[in-house]
């Protein structure tokens, strides 16, 4: 498969690109800075410089042309203010989804956040973040042109992945290594029957492949 990943230099995306390249898929990472390109090449991924905060739908659709799937793994990051939650976590996700529809790329995964809710109240940066992620999720759910899956991990850590997770519509609070988030994304890409699902993800006791098959009805 050819898979285009927005936020291609992000911590989850880099892990996903390594997994995809290792199994023989074509991983294409959209990055903002040319100096990030070598990091992707070293993982076996193809870097494409494109800033989703300034690109048009047409420009993004051109990069998506011919892909089998698209993954939105971009984020403004923990040090950013409220404004970039709106321009990256919400607007860039919507732009990427619209571009996927235009390019005819039906399979679409988005890395959201546990607690994302378009009606979330509050004015703190994290409140704006949860609202922005929720609004992006809601927009994507309403696009008929996408076979979407929304993944909402718990608190992300850099601990080594265990390969054991809890993946359900509602898991309750918990943490999850970024390694395991990437592994679940790779498995979701191989499991089209998970389209139309919004899933929460934390560490658990079930192997990734079994957890994904379970939510897919297998």
Please report the DSSP string for 46-106 in residue order.
EEEE--TTT--HHHHHHHHTT-SEEEE-----TT--HHHIIIIIIIIHHHHHHHHHHHT--
* Whole-number Å distance between alpha carbons of 192 and 178: 22
* Active-site choice (47, 129, 131, 171): 129
Query: Is 129 tagged catalytic?
Result: yes
Phi and psi dihedrals of 157, rounded to 5? -130, 165
Q: For the beta carbon of residue 141, count every other beta carbon within 10 angstroms.
A: 12
**What is the sign of the dihedral through the CA atoms of 82, 137, 9 and 100?**
negative
Q: Which residues contact 129 (CB under 8 A, 6 or more apart)?
A: 76, 82, 85, 89, 113
Helix axis angle for 178-189 and 11-22, nearest 10°, is 50
Phi and psi dihedrals of 72, rounded to 5? -95, 105
Residues noted as catalytic: 129
């Amino acid at each position: 498969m050819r898979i285009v990943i927005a936020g291609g230099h992000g911590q989850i995306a880099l892990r996903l690109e390594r997994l995809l390249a290792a199994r023989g898929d074509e991983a294409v990472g959209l990055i903002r800075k040319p100096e990030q390109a070598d990091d992707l090449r070293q993982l076996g991924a193809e870097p494409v410089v494109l800033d989703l905060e300034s690109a048009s739908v047409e420009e993004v659709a051109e990069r998506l042309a011919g892909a089998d799937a698209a993954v939105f793994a971009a984020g403004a990051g923990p040090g950013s203010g409220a404004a970039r939650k709106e321009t990256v976590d919400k607007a860039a996700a919507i732009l990427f989804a619209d571009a996927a529809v235009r390019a005819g790329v039906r399979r679409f995964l988005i890395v959201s956040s546990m607690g994302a809710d378009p009606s979330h109240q509050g004015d703190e940066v994290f409140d704006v973040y949860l609202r922005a992620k929720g609004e992006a999720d809601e927009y994507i759910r309403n696009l008929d042109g996408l076979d979407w899956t929304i993944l909402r991990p718990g608190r992300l850590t850099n601990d080594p992945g265990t390969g054991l997770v809890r993946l359900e519509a509602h898991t309750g609070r918990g943490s999850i290594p970024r390694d395991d988030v990437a592994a679940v994304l790779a498995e979701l890409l191989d499991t089209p029957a998970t389209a139309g699902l919004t899933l929460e993800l934390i560490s658990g006791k079930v192997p990734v492949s079994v957890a994904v098959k379970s939510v897919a009805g297998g």
